[in-house]
Amino acid sequence: MTQATKARAGTLDDIATGSHVFSIIAMDQRNTLRRMFTAVGLEASDEDLGTAKADVARVLTPAATGLLSDPTYGVPAITQAKALAPNCGLLIAAEPSERRSYRGEPRTHRDPDLDAQWVLDQGGDVLKFFLQLRADRPAPAGGEPDLVTEALAVGEEIINDCHDKGVPAVIENLVYALPGEELRGQARENAIIEAARALNDLDIDLLKLEYPGSPEGCRRLAAILDRPWAVLSAGVPFEQFTDIIRIATDEGGASGFIAGRSVWREVVSLVGPQRQEFLESVALPRLERLVGVAEHSARPWTGISRQPRATSPN
């Protein structure tokens, strides 16, 4: 299939099962993965990071519908090792390497070179962009940037570019504590809901969202979203994430999951045959269990009434 044909034909089914459900492995971590190695007393080289990503891909992608990886260490190593299973789609993280902030809050921006064509050129199927949106933050004072408007504008630029090339766009959001705030419990749930409400107004193909913390929070998400969404693992223990998927799909209408450390975190402390054994005997059964939960209760993304949003005249 040529890139041009792929660009015209790309849909979320490139990263979904035949029943239109997402069972995606995430290994797009860069600095986080390096810190995981450090936490177990190992100093990881760039090659070590790439090898770990290729090892995970080789064993787990035959059971996954998609693999989310990064362009720095992951995609090159996985491509060189031919570690991606033929029926597994590739999502490429398109966040800029530089993080920006304003008075302690994340400030969203994009690298225009990391666009939809760049994803296709690397053999990717889907572009994933991570932002941090607090749609419920106070309105900016005079002279201050509007961080909410900026983040949504960046999201809209990315989505329009992706749709021009026929590349599905996945937008991931993580809420954050405002300066001086303790974000937990009901306050955290409300922040996740309000961010999702704002993002739902963009013509996003798939939202990658945090678990809001309760079945009621999931029902609130279901009431406001007319976009498909998948629940992310955020590094919670495997057993906890299994329950989260059940609740997110049963109560929130999620169309599947995007799981990372909850499945494969132990690889950083293992090498060679020990790593291979862990991946085959522990991580793969974990993934297969999550796939079973999703297949049983996730809502097919094709059954969600997605309302196209008007784009800005610019």
pLDDT score recorded for residue 314: 43
pTM metric for this prediction = 0.93
What local confidence, expressed as pLDDT, does residue 7 receive? 43
In tens, the pLDDT along 99-144 reads: 999 999 999 999 999 999 999 999 999 999 999 999 999 999 999 9
pLDDT at 105: 97
Q: Provide the pLDDT confidence category of residue 97 given band limits of 50, 70 and 90.
A: confident
- Annotate the chain with DSSP letters as a single string: --HHHHHHH--GGGGS-TTS-EEEEEE--SHHHHHHHHHTT----HHHHHHHHHHHHHHHGGG-SEEEE-TTTHHHHHHHHT-S-TT-EEEEE---SS--EETTEE-----TTSSHHHHHHTT-SEEEEEE---TTSPPPPTTS--HHHHHHHHHHHHHHHHHHHT--EEEEE---PPTT----HHHHHHHHHHHHHHHTTS--SEEEE---SSHHHHHHHHHH--S-EEEE-TT--HHHHHHHHHHHHHTT---EEEE-HHHHGGGGG--HHHHHHHIIIIIHHHHHHHHHHHHHHPPPGGGS-PPPPPPP--
Say if residue 206's pLDDT is above 70.
yes
Superfamily of domain 3-303: Aldolase class I (3.20.20.70)
Confidence of residue 313 (pLDDT cuts 50, 70, 90): very low
52-79 pLDDT, tens digit each: 999 999 999 999 999 999 999 999 999 9
pLDDT higher at 135 or 97: 135
Position 9 confidence tier, pLDDT thresholds 50, 70, 90: low
Which sequence spans correspond to the domains of the chain?
3-303
When pLDDT is averaged across residues 253-260 and rounded to a whole number, the result is 98
139-172 pLDDT, tens digit each? 999 999 999 999 999 999 999 999 999 999 999 9
What pLDDT does 10 receive? 85
pLDDT at 6 over 50: no
More confidently predicted of 1 and 217: 217
pLDDT in tens, 271-310: 999 999 999 999 999 999 999 999 999 999 999 866 655 5
Mean pLDDT, residues 218-240: 96
At 191 the pLDDT is 98
The overall average pLDDT reported for the chain is 94
Q: Report the percent of the chain where pLDDT is more than 90.
A: 92
Q: Quick one: pLDDT band at residue 312, thresholds 50, 70, 90?
A: very low
